[in-house]
Each structure stands twice: as structure tokens, then as C-alpha cells.
Chain A
Amino acid sequence: MSQKISRRDFLKITGVSSAALAALTGCGPASRFVVRKPYPDMPEYNQTGASTYFATGCRECPAGCGLIVRTQEGRAIKVEGNPDFPVNYGKVCSRGLTAVQGLYNPDRVQGPLKQASRGSSSFEKIDWETAIPIITSALLKNEPSGVAFLMGLAPDHLYDLVAEITQTLGSPPPLRYSALGMFEGRTTLLQAVNNIFHKDSLPFFDLANADYVLSFGANFLETWLSPVRYSRAYGSLRQGIPGRRGYLVSFEPRQSLTSANADEWIPIKPGSEGLVIAALTKLVAEIKGIEGASDHSELDVAQVANTADISLKKLQEIAHAFASADHPLAIPGGQLASHANGLAATQAILALNGMVENLGKKGGLFLIPSTSVASNFSEIQALVSRMSRGEIKALFIHGVNPVFDLPSALGFQEALKNVSLVISFASFPDETALQSDYILPDHTPLESWGYQHVLAGADRPTYSASQPVVVPLYDTHATADVLLTALKESGKVPYQDEVDFLQQKLLPLLQRGGGFYTAPEILTFWSKWLQYGGWWTPTEGLEKPNGSSTPPAPAANVAELQEGQFFFVTYPTLFGDGSGANRPWLQETPDPMTTVMWNSWVEIHPDTARKLGVKDDDVVKISSPAGEIEASVYLYPAIRPDTVAIPFGQGHTALGRWAEGRGCNPLQVLNVQFNEAGDLAFGDTIVSVTPTGRSRKLARFESREGVYGSQH
């Protein structure tokens, strides 16, 4: 250990935190508490020089992959995939791999803090004995309707607990939001499935066994729904079945990593997706001789091709190939949902799958056998207006950073000023935590208990189990424990502590059976649950969708650009919901398409750049009615000349040393407009681009000589 802590200090720190833990959680069997001892007091299962491996669940995104974390002498060393886990089967993405850089990040909030005034960054350390009564009175003394919880899409167990608490107190149910959920159009997809198949669950696309795939803006190799699951399926699509190679066609205005891997990338005009889908539906219906597609009979396919910037011949070719494929599959993605007609377009894609009869068949469309609930964006907007009107007295924020990852035009930060008490449970001093009265830090995921209900990436009912792989590093407390302790005296919640809550939630799984292991009672079940890193059924159990109805054809939604205007695309990167920006190795990992590291860039087609008179690394201003941002130009050959794109994730003003003051946040130029499902229609944003005359070099991995001149 190289940090300067004397042995006396060290004993003091561990003594205090274990005393606090005992006070919080009450007495109980030692196994429920974290017993992963640090190096000076080595537990018996540990042997010097030998590693211990713990199964746990990944919380970097809502997909809920299973992890195995290698620990040695009480330290988490390396994140690996859980080979048995039916989402990722031993694989793991860049975000998951750098979880240890989140755990061991020097910028973490190390204990409960009280801020002198919001935004002042002047913090006073408090102890948990002071913090808990503040929560108790915020929950019990306020009008129940004045208490609100805003939470991320992970972890699920905390959401379930808070949902119970708010129900008992009579408060509105907690709202969930994640920038990733917004980018993948999760609510729209759920709504579309509900309208067409009358189920509240997400679809599962059997990409691995398909042979002709149409993707409309689904970036399933990057962040969409369950990227590791779909990346694995992509490998099988290509080379999984001997003698066959699946074909992938991707429609979107900017070539994403998924489109880059497609056999054909069709850069259609933003907003014309719905029309193209309607035209494809009409063509496929004609080829297959299906009646009842009458809603599309008026459609002039040649006109659509012209509007969308695709040749009629190409459109007919694609329709033919799709209609005659053995295992055709069409996938509706986040870019599709991000237009004003996003719901209609997503429904039309689901119906297109029904038309080629792939529902519930190998290589086709299935439904996940679990119910999903997501808050839609207009509910968030309703919360913001309630906050502005001063109706919210106490706001609790966990697992989400709304000041950063909501569009600034929504006015969250201004509305926050009218909330009497804001409590953040953030592990990092992020933008929202700095606008809070108290930061009561939760453990980071690798120090936490919990579960995640897998809702998108597993072909069977699946839960991932989280357990602490190391002893909590700092004086942080599990938010579930904090809430339960705060309500203990009121007798309103029937749980001793977080582990008690988790075990009670597991009882139905134990009683129902059907998992690949079973146990006579909960403690044995619990130890298997932790050992395997979750619970799932031994056989697959996807549902076959039925009740397919013909949805109305999506309306035209193509905006006319004025001189100097551009369509605007923003997309999530390795940083996920933006919280990855303070991990130095995610910053240093080059962006796959541009190889840029450590900053934001604007992707502009080389021809457009020439017309604007800008070249690589010139700083331009991107402005919309909602706001303006600046970034360096990257000449990107794979984007429509009438479109510009900025990646999401950088532009932090807080969060830590590696994230702050780097790049720009594209959510600052998004207008607040919705699609029919109440999701943000961020794809309809139109911007103008102005050169600033300045230049700022981007660090790129490509062309080591070209960027800084040949002297280096």
C-alpha cells in the first residue's frame, strides 16, 4: 500500500466503519455482511499469491451481464465474464471491464457530505448517524405527494424496494431514467410491442439464426438493449453456421459501428425511415401476395425512394431478398424511435416481422418472458414541472445524473432550485450531486449486494446476483440499508436490512422452482444464488408473439432544411450513460470509427466541410433553438452530407479529474419534443454549423504522424 495512512489511522477507520455498519444493519448472521477482509487481516479462504473469484452482476448498463471478478489479497484485480450466465456467456464489454477503475477511482465520494449551498462545492463531512434522521424526516414529515425518487435503470432491487416504500408512504412511484434508455427508445419499443402483441415485455431478436437482417438504427453492437448478447449473436450470424453467412442491411443517416459491420449501409434521409418501412411493407406484401396491407396501397414507392435518397432498384432488391429469405428479421432501433413518428415506425417493423412469418421461429422475433416497465420521457417532464411549481419537497436521486443526461432544454437544473431538499446517493461528485444538499454515497457496484432482472438479453427468465467482491473501500453505505434504517422506527417496512430484503424477494423463486438449482431453504438457496451469480431456468423459455395486428402506416416526417441547416445525430459511446467518462481507460480506448481519444468531435462529411471552409480539427459551433456547443471537426466519410453528428458522454463539468472540462455535451442542443409514445424525439433536431476560426487538435489513434506534424 502506497497511500500514507498510519497503522493507527487504519485501525481507526476500519473500527468506525464496522461499528457504523453494525448500528445500521442490526445483528445477524455474519455471512450477510461483507466479510471480504483487506490484506492485513486475511480471511481463511484466501491464500497469499492465489486468486479468489467471485460471481457478481454487472451494473454498467441495464443489460445485467454476469461477471466473475478475480480478487487477490482483498483487492479486485480483473473483471471477466461469467461463462455460464445466459446473457453474455463469459464475454464482457469495455464498460464492464473497467468497473475496477470505478471502484478504485480516486475521485469517489468517500463518506456522507453536506453541501453549504447548492453548487458551492463546499462540503462538510457528516456521519451516518446525522444523515439518517434527515432521510427519516424527509420521508415521513412531508406530504407524501411531495416526496419523489428519480432512479437509474440499474440496480433493480433498489427500484423494487423504493417502489414498495413509496407505495406504503402513499408517494408517487419512483421514476426511472437512463440516457441509454433514451437512446435505445426503450419506452417506444415497449409501447409498440404492447400495441401489436399486447404484452408488456421487450422483444428478443434471434440474430444468430437469421440470414437476412434489416436494422433501422439499432446500434446493437454498441449499447442497444444488450450489446454483449447481440455482439455474440452477430458473430454467429456471420460464421456460426457452416456454409452460410447471414446478410445485414442497416438504414441510418450516420454510419454507426453496427452499420460499419453491415453488408450494406443505406444512408436514408433522417425522418424518412417511416416511409421507407411503409414502402418495404407494401413491396413485401406484393411479393408474398398478402392481402390486407390496404393501408399502404396509396403509397407511391418511387416517390418514397426519391424522398429517402435511396434508389428504387435498391429498395426493390432489398424487399425481394427480405421476402424470399429463409430467416428474415427486421430490427427497430433507437434512431428509428427518435422521430416524431417513432412509435408508428417501430410498430410497422414489428408488423413486418409478422408479415414474413418469423414470429416465434428460429431466426425470428420472440418476446422476453418477463414484464418490463419504463418511465417515459413525458413523465420526467411532468416531474420537472412539478418541481418548478415547488410541489416537490424532497427529491432523492440514485443511479442517474439528470443535470448531465437530460436535455438541458428540459430545465431540470432550474427546477431543482424550487425543491426544498435534494439528496443524492451518487458515488461520484457528478453534476447532479453538486446541485444537491446532501451526498449520501452508495457503495459502487463491486461493493454491493443486489440483483438485476434481465429484461432484454436472455432467452430465458434470468436474474443476475450482485455480491460485494471486496470490502467497501470508504465510509459509504448501501442506499437500501440507509432507507430501511431511516424507516425502521416507523415500522413501515418489513425488512431488517438489504440482505433480508433480497432474501425475501428470492423466496418466490425458491418456492416456484424451475431454476437450474434448488434448495430446501433460503440460506442454502442464497449461497447457490451467490455462487452461480444469479438464477435462471435450465431451458430456454422465450414467448412466441401472437395477436399481430396491422398498424397504421407511419406518416411522413421529413423536415425541409434551410440553407446552412443540418440534421443532427447524437449517439452513445463506450462511456454508456456518460458516467464512464471518469475512467481513464475508457478515455484512452479509441473510438472504433474515428479513433479519437479523450475528447468530443463533430462528424462532418468531407464535401460539406469543404463547403463550410473547415478542415480536420477546426472548432465549429453547433447551435439549435435549445442551445449551442463547440467541438473540433472530424472529417467523417460515412455520414450524409446534410447531417452532422456528435457522440454523447463527454462535456462533464463535474464527475472527476479525467472527465471534467473535456469536450461538449450534445444534449444541450436537443429540443424537447416527443414521439407518440412520450419518448424524446431527439432525432428531429436541426442545427446550424458555424466555423469559429479556432482550431483544436484531436488526439487520434490513427495516423500517428499526420496530426501533430512529422517532427514528432
Chain B
Amino acid sequence: MANTENTGKWGMVIDTDRCTGCMACVTACAMENNIPWTGEEEAGYGRGMHWIRVQRLWHGEYPEVKPEFTPTMCQQCGHAPCEPVCPVFATVHSEAEQINLQVYNRCVGTRYCGNNCPYTARTFNFFDHEFPTPMDFYLNPDVTVRRRGVMEKCTFCVQRIHKGQEKARAEGRPVKDGEIVPACAQACPADAIVFGDMSDSESQVSHIARSERRYQLLPELGTEPRVTYLKGGGYYGG
């Protein structure tokens, strides 16, 4: 049901069997979304601004020890714990894209949303981070550069969603499946990340999301995450 309207239930599937943990998604996200670096000390305090991280959990004991990599970003919950706690409606649910938005110029920095996010997907600007000239030349003009005191997080590259929709509308056609990709999925060397319209049951992302290997993060919380993971590390017949 691809459409020409500004709607679409955007979703993502991450195949952890393909994921190698190479971190290309992390860097791609930073380059696309004007994410500042914070330096050794602040990063060590956990104040790094990564919108996507690759969780690494060790399993087993030497020599049968093996890490599990899970790329984790804002899960764009359908029932988001971050939303009801914001006193100024900076953390709102968008009806058009059906994702969680962060309105930077409303945010007053209470950090309630970050506190309430079970996926610790939100990062807070404790400082104004500088891009020393000419490093600021590469800043993406489609994405706001955030200031101190503002919470931020993954947007599913909403600027790319809008660009794709505008292009399709200008050409008088529906958005094609796979036409809109966020920076992480675009870069991923192992093709582990697939993005698309979940309301179109024939889209690639919907097909893959029906895999027998599917699971979601912390499903017991009932957050209805919009990101589906596929199990790795073995053959599940699917």
C-alpha cells in the first residue's frame, strides 16, 4: 500500500546473523545527523552522543567465548515510555510518520524521557560541542545542529523520509520500496539493516519481519517497538 500521502508506518529489521559489529552504522549516523564528538573524558563518562550503538555482550567462557552484537537505536515505540513524561511536549508521536519525534526547540532538558527510555537510546547535550572550522563545512543542512541542554535521539533519518516523499510527490508517483533508506542501512556493508514501510505487506521490510527468527527488544514492556531483530548465531530453518 505504498502511497503518495505523507504517511507510512516506517519500520526497520536488523538481521543479527548478518551483522558483523563493524560499526559502519555508528559512523554513518554521526556523519549524516551532525552528531558531535565529545572527547575522551566525556565519552568515558557515558556522555557520548551516539544515536546508534552496537551492544556487545560476551557469552560463554574461554575458549568457547563469543560476543553477541546488537545494533541498538531508538526503537520508535508505538507505545513509547518517553512520551508521557515530557512536561513540555518535546517528545511527541508523529501521526504522519508514526515515529517518536524530538522537538529540539521545545526541549528544556529535564531528561525525564532519557530516564524513562528502557533502551537507553537517548543522549543529552551536556555541553555545546564545537565543530572547529572548517570541520563545520560538512554539516548536513537538513539536520538541526543541537545546543547544550537538549535531548536527542535517532529519528529514523526523518529528513531522508521527507526528501523521498517530496521527490515522489513531485514526480506524481508513490514512494518506491527501498527508495528511502536511513544512513545506517545505506552504509551497512553486510546488508544487515533493512528499512521500509511496514504498512505495505509486500515491502521487503514486511517480508523479512515475518521471519521465524524475529524477536524484539524487551517485548515484556509492551512498548510496541518499530524495530524488529532477527536471531543470529545458528540455523533456525526460516
Q: Which A residues contact B (CB, under 8 angstroms)?
A: 1-3, 49, 72-73, 75-81, 88, 90-94, 97-98, 100-101, 103-106, 221-222, 227-228, 231-232, 234-235, 238-239, 245, 255, 257-258, 260-261, 263, 265-267, 473, 574, 584-590, 592-593, 595, 597-599, 605, 637-638, 641, 662, 697-702, 704-705, 707-708, 712
Say whether B190 faces chain A, with CB atoms less than 8 Å apart. yes
Contacts of B38 in A (CB 8 A): 588
Residues on A with C-beta less than 8 A from B24 are 91-94, 97
Query: A-side binding surface: helix, strand, loop or mixed?
Result: loop
- A605–B56 contact, CB under 8 A? no
Give, as a whole number of angstroms, the nearest-CB distance from A640 to chain B: 8
- By a CB distance below 8 angstroms, the chain B residues around A221 are 20, 22
Chain A nearest CB from B198 CB (Å) reads 20
Are A585 and B45 neighbours in the complex by a CB distance under 8 Å? no
Is the C-beta of B188 less than 8 angstroms from some C-beta in chain A?
yes
14 A-B residue pairs with CB within 8 Å: A78-B140, A93-B22, A101-B135, A101-B138, A221-B22, A239-B15, A255-B65, A257-B21, A257-B22, A260-B21, A265-B63, A587-B37, A592-B69, A637-B61
Q: Does B219 sit at the interface, judged by CB under 8 A?
A: no
Assembly CA distance A712 to B132 (angstroms): 28
Kindly list chain B residues whose C-beta atoms are within 8 Å of the C-beta of A103.
138
Our pick among B41, B66, B190, B233 for the contact of A235 (Cβ within 8 Å) is B190
Instruction: List which B117-162 residues lie within 8 A (CB) of chain A.
Output: 132-141
Q: Which of B27-35, B79-87, B100-108 contacts A (4 or more CB under 8 A)?
A: B27-35
Q: How far is the CB of A306 from chain B (nearest CB, A)?
A: 16
- Which residues of B are found within 8 Å of A266, using beta-carbon distances? 63
Of A3, A91, A232, A704, the residue contacting B134 (CB under 8 A) is: A3
A592 pairs with B54, CB closer than 8 A: yes
In the complex, residue of chain A having the shortest beta-carbon distance to the beta carbon of B234: A245
The reply to whether B20 and A232 contact each other, CB–CB distance below 8 Å, is no
Tell me whether B44 and A708 are in contact (CB under 8 A): yes
- Residue B40 CB within 8 A of the other chain: yes
Decide yes or no: A239 and B21 within 8 Å by CB, A585-B30, A597-B43 being known contacts.
Answer: no
Alpha-carbon distance between A462 and B39 when the two chains are bound, in angstroms: 40
Nearest CB of B to A94, in Å: 4
For B116, list chain A residues within 8 Å (CB). Answer: none
Question: In the complex, what residue of chain B is closest to A599 when comparing beta carbons?
Answer: B40
- Are B31 and A704 touching (Cβ within 8 A)? no
Report the separation of the CA atoms of residues A116 and B133 in the bound assembly, to the nearest whole angstrom: 28
Docked-complex contact B23 and A574, CB < 8 angstroms: yes
**A231-B189 contact, Cβ under 8 Å, with A3-B133, A72-B141, A712-B45:** yes
Q: Are A104 and B31 in contact (CB under 8 A)?
A: no
Within 8 A of A (CB), among B36-89: 37-41, 43-46, 48, 50, 53-54, 56, 58, 61-63, 65-67, 69
Asked if B199 is at the interface of the complex by the 8 Å CB criterion, the answer is no
Does residue B180 face the partner (Cβ distance < 8 Å to A)?
A: no
Q: A585-B37, A712-B46 are in contact. Are A104 and B20 (CB under 8 A)?
A: no
Chain A residues within an 8 Å CB radius of B20: 221, 231, 234, 257-258, 261
Q: Is the CB of B187 within 8 A of A88?
A: no
Report yes or no: B191 in contact with A702, Cβ–Cβ below 8 A.
Answer: no
A589 and B44 in contact (CB under 8 A), knowing A76-B138, A106-B135?
A: no
Closest B residue to A264 by beta carbon equals: B64
What is the CB-to-nearest-CB distance from B124 to chain A, in angstroms, rounded to a whole number? 12
Q: Is the interface of B mostly helix, strand, loop or mixed?
A: loop
Give the complex CA separation of A245 and B236 in angstroms.
Answer: 9
Other 12 A-B pairs with CB < 8 A, given A585-B27, A585-B37, A588-B38: A3-B134, A79-B31, A227-B22, A227-B189, A238-B17, A260-B21, A260-B69, A592-B22, A638-B62, A699-B40, A708-B44, A708-B45
Known A234-B20, A592-B69, A701-B48; contact A81-B187, beta-carbon cutoff 8 A = yes
With A585-B31, A699-B44, A708-B45 known to touch, is A77 a contact of B138 (CB < 8 Å)? Answer: yes
Does A588 lie within 8 Å of B22, measured CB to CB?
no
Which of chain B's residues has its CB closest to A703's CB?
B46
Q: Once bound together, how far apart are the Cα atoms of A593 and B38, in whole Å?
A: 21
Give the contact-size bracket for chain B: 35 or more
Q: B32 contacts A78, CB within 8 Å?
A: yes
Report the nearest A residue to B27, measured CB to CB: A94
CA A92 to CA B190, docked complex, whole Å: 10
Q: Tell me the chain B residues, 182-229 only, with Cβ under 8 Å from chain A.
A: 183, 186-192
C-alpha spacing A694/B68, complex, angstroms: 32
Q: Inside 8 A of B26's CB, which chain A residues have their CB?
A: 94, 589-590
User: Are A77's CB and B43's CB within 8 A?
Assistant: no
Q: What residue of chain A has the Cβ atom nearest to residue B29's Cβ?
A: A97
The residue in chain A whose Cβ has the minimal distance to the Cβ of B213 is: A239
- Whether A78 and B135, one on each chain, are in contact in the complex, defined by CB atoms closer than 8 angstroms, is no
**B134:A104 contact, CB within 8 angstroms:** yes
Residues on B with beta carbons closer than 8 Å to the beta carbon of A588: 30, 37-39, 43, 48, 50
Give the chain A neighbours of B37 by CB distance below 8 A.
584-585, 587-588
Interface centre among A100, A605, A662 (most CB of B within 10 A): A100
Query: A201 → chain B, closest Cβ, in Å?
Result: 24
A592 to chain B, nearest CB (A): 4
- Are B138 and A100 within 8 A (Cβ)? yes
B137 touches A104 (CB 8 A): yes
Q: Is the CB of A238 within 8 A of B135?
A: no
Q: Which residue of B lies closest to A473 (CB)?
A: B134
Q: Are B21 and A91 in contact (CB under 8 A)?
A: no
Instruction: Flag if A104 contacts B62 (CB, 8 Å).
Output: no
Shortest Cβ distance from residue B185 to the other chain A in the assembled complex, whole angstroms: 10
A378 to chain B, nearest CB (A): 33
A205 to chain B, nearest CB (A): 16
User: In the complex, what distance in Å separates the CA atom of A78 from the CA atom of B50?
Assistant: 17
Partner of B22 from the list A2, A231, A598, A641 (CB cut-off 8 Å) is A231
With A701-B53, A708-B45: A94-B22 Cβ-Cβ less than 8 Å: yes
Residues of A within 8 A of B139 (CB): 77
Contact pick for A593, options B39, B56, B188, CB 8 Å: B56
**Residues in B neighbouring A702, C-beta threshold 8 A:** 56
Give the top 4 A-B pairs by smallest Cβ distance, nearest first: A699-B44, A704-B46, A235-B190, A231-B189
Do B191 and A232 touch across chains, with their CB atoms under 8 A apart? yes
With A231-B20, A588-B37: A106-B30 Cβ-Cβ less than 8 Å: no
A106 near B132 with CB under 8 A, answer yes
- Which residues on A sit within 8 Å (CB–CB) of B22? 93-94, 221-222, 227, 231, 257, 592
B18 at the interface (CB under 8 A from A): yes
CB nearest neighbor in A for B233: A263
Residues in B whose Cβ lies below 8 Å from that of A708 = 44-46
Whole-angstrom distance from the CB of A301 to the nearest CB of chain B?
A: 20
Give the chain B neighbours of A662 by CB distance below 8 A. 40
Contacts of A697 in B (CB 8 A): 44
The answer to whether B39 and A598 touch across the interface, beta carbons within 8 angstroms, is yes
Contacts of A72 in B (CB 8 A): 141
Among B61, B133, B134, B190, chain A packs the most CB atoms within 10 A around the CB of: B190
A81, B50: Cα distance in complex, Å: 22
Q: Which residues from A are CB-within-8-Å of B141?
A: 49, 72-73, 77
A589 lies within 8 A of B27 (CB):
yes
B43 contacts across to A, CB distance below 8 A:
588, 597-598, 699, 701
- Asked if residues A232 and B62 are in contact (CB atoms below 8 Å), the reply is no
Q: Which of B50, B54, B134 contacts A106 (CB 8 A)?
A: B134
**Interchain CA distance A267-B66 in the complex, whole Å:** 12
Given contacts A265-B66, A699-B43, A702-B56, contact A80 B186 (CB under 8 A): yes
CB-defined contacts of A605 to chain B, threshold 8 Å: 62
Indicate which residue in A239, A257, A592 contacts B17 across the interface (CB closer than 8 Å).
A239
A5 CB, min distance to chain B CBs, angstroms: 10
8 Å CB contact of B188 from A1, A91, A261, A637: A91
Are B137 and A81 neighbours in the complex by a CB distance under 8 Å? no
Contact A92:B41 (CB < 8 A) given known A3-B133, A260-B66, A701-B53 = no
